[in-house]
Amino acid sequence: MDRPPLRTYGRIKTRTLKPRQAGLIDALLPRLGVPEGPFDPRGLKPDAAEVWLEIGFGGGEHLAAQAARRPDVLAIGVEPFLNGVASALRHIDDAGLANVRIVQGDARDIVGRLLDASLERIFILFPDPWPKTRHHKRRLMQPDFIGDLARVARPGARLGFATDWRDYAAWTLERMAASPDWTWTAQTASDWRAPPPDHVTTRYEQKALGDTAPIFLNFTRA
Ligand SMILES: C[S@@+](CC[C@H](N)C(=O)[O-])C[C@H]1O[C@@H](n2cnc3c(N)ncnc32)[C@H](O)[C@@H]1O
C-alpha cells in the first residue's frame, strides 16, 4: 500500500472557533464544497470565464478579494487549517460572493482529482517554507506536485508563486526549470521583485517572517 504523503503544513486548528465562525463551518462550508472523486470544476459554474485555484489560502483575504474583483471567474481555495477556512468563510459571507468554492484539506488531493487542463490560474502564495534542511522534503513544491499542477493547468495557464524565503525561491525556480511544462516569465529583476499588478497583500506576507523581501515567481504552462 502507498504511504500517505508527508505533511506540508503545520497545525490544522489553533484557537476555538467563535460562534459565528462555527456557524459558517456548519452551514456555509457544505454548500461551497466540490464533488467527491474526479471532477470537472466547470461543472460547478458552467458560465465561468476561467477557473482559478488558490493553494494554502491562509485566512482567505487574497482569495476573497480576487473573487470579488472577478465575479466571472470560479475561484477554488484549498486550505487544511480550520481557523483559516473559518476566516475565509467570513470574508465570503460578508462580501456575498457566489463564485467561490472552499475545500478544507490538502491541495495535493484536490489537484489529483481535477480534470486535465481545467485551470487557467494557480496561486501558491507564501507556502510553508520549511527552512531547515531536514524539513525540505515537506515543501509543497516537489517535482511530482509540479507535474500534477502541469496536468491540471491549461496551455497558457498562469501559476503565481511567492515566498519571502530566498532559499525556497531558488528551490522552486530550480524545480520548475527542470519541468518542460512551465516557463518562468521574468525578463528583468523587477519582474520578480514586484508583485503582479492585481496582487492582494496576504496576511503572512505582512508578517515578513522570511529572510528576504517577497519574491514573486510567475510561470506559464507551455
Ligand atoms: C505560511 S501560510 C500562508 C498563507 C497565505 N497564503 C498567506 O500568504 O497569508 C501557508 C499555508 O499553506 C497551507 N498549506 C500547507 N500545505 C498545504 C497543502 N498541502 N494544501 C493546501 N494548503 C497547504 C498551510 O496550512 C498554511 O495556511
Catalogue the E-assigned strands of the chain.
Answer: 50-55, 73-78, 100-103, 119-125, 153-163, 182-184, 215-221
What's residue 11's pLDDT?
82
Pairing of strands 119-125, 100-103: unpaired
> For residue 191, what are the contacts with CB-CB under 8 A and spacing of at least 6?
185, 216, 218
B/e letters for 148-162, b = 16+ CB within 10 Å, e = fewer, are bbbbbbeeebbbbbb
CB count in 10 Å sphere of residue 48: 19
Complete edge-to-edge strand list for the sheet that includes strand 119-125: 100-103, 73-78, 50-55, 119-125, 153-163, 215-221, 182-184
- Residue 1 has what pLDDT? 52
Cell of 135: 524539513
| pLDDT score recorded for residue 149 | 98
Which of 9, 101, 201 is the pocket-test mutation for ligand 1 (most atoms within 8 Å of CB)?
9
Q: Ligand 1 test: best mutation among 53, 61, 81, 148, most atoms within 8 Å of CB? A: 81
Instruction: Check if 8 has its Cβ closer than 6 Å to any atom of ligand 1.
Output: yes
Q: Which residues of the chain have pLDDT under 70?
A: 1-2
Encoded amino acid at 8, one letter: T
The answer, yes or no, to whether any atom of ligand 1 lies below 6 A from the CB of 203, is yes
Check if 93 is active-site: no
60 lines ligand 1 (CB under 6 A): no
Q: How many Å apart are CA 145 and CA 150, to the nearest integer?
A: 9
pLDDT tens by residue, 1-35: 567 789 999 888 888 999 999 999 999 999 999 99
From the number of C-beta atoms within 10 Å of its C-beta (0-12, 13-18, 19+), residue 68 rates as middle
In this predicted model, what pLDDT tens digit does every residue of 185-200 receive, in sequence order? Answer: 999 988 999 999 999 9
pLDDT tens, residue by residue, 58-67:
999 999 999 9
- The neighbouring-strand residues paired with 53 are 76, 122
Predicted confidence at residue 14, as pLDDT, reads 82
